[in-house]
Amino acid sequence: MARIPLIARAEEMAPAHREVWRRIAKSRGSVVGPFAALLHSPVLADRTAELGAYIRFDSALSAADRELVILSVARAFDCQFEWAYHVREARKAGVSAQAIAAIRERRAPAGLTPEEAEIVGYASELLVTHRADPQTVAALRARLGVQGVVELTATIGYYAMLACTLNAFDVRPEAGEEELHVP
């Protein structure tokens, strides 16, 4: 059970803030996970949702690259909700079962194509050492362009923030969703 009440309906918010709930629900189809917690700070939730909408729906990254990054962040943070939600999205985006398994089982770069390994390795560098190797940045810049590398980096940071929110408040996926083995 979550450590704070999750806001499941607009009526659970002050009337002045219900429009924020409606905007989030409209852009995502529902209000779940991190947004159900973030809505306790409506302005923060609104701005977070706006950034997330850009990252998820308008970014220069391909859907497969974006989902590889999100799964990498979810695994790095052992974030159950983020993993469960985005493993479905990764499959829809065409991420291979081998790549998903490599990230889940912490075997990457084994099981990844060279392009996937670049993306997953970059996320790992930032999340583990807190720095990016110049050669990694150069390779990604050559493939994705400057805008792509900037958006890749922002995607890592955004999903790290969401993972922190989800883990801090113990927001869990629905029963029956794919779970991560957490040591």
Query: Which residues of the chain are in CATH 1.20.1290.10 domains?
Result: 63-168
- Do 134 and 125 form a contact (C-beta atoms < 8 A)? no
Q: Which of 21-30, 84-93, 139-148, 174-183 has the lowest mean pLDDT?
A: 174-183
Percent of the chain whose pLDDT exceeds 70:
100
- Rounded to whole angstroms, the Cα distance separating 150 from 124 reads 16
Q: Which pLDDT score, from 0 to 100, does residue 18 have? A: 92
Topology annotation, domain 63-168:
AhpD-like (1.20.1290)
Distance CA 82, CA 66 (A): 13
Helical segments of 29-176, H only: 34-38, 42-53, 63-76, 80-92, 97-104, 114-124, 134-168
What's the pTM value of the predicted model, to 2 decimals?
Answer: 0.94
In our burial notation (b when 16+ CB lie closer than 10 A, e otherwise), range 6-35 reads bbeebeebeeebbebbebbbeebeebbbbb
Tens of pLDDT, residues 70-127: 999 999 999 999 999 999 999 999 999 999 999 999 998 999 999 999 999 999 999 9
pLDDT for res 179: 82
Predicted confidence band at 1 (pLDDT cuts at 50, 70, 90)?
confident
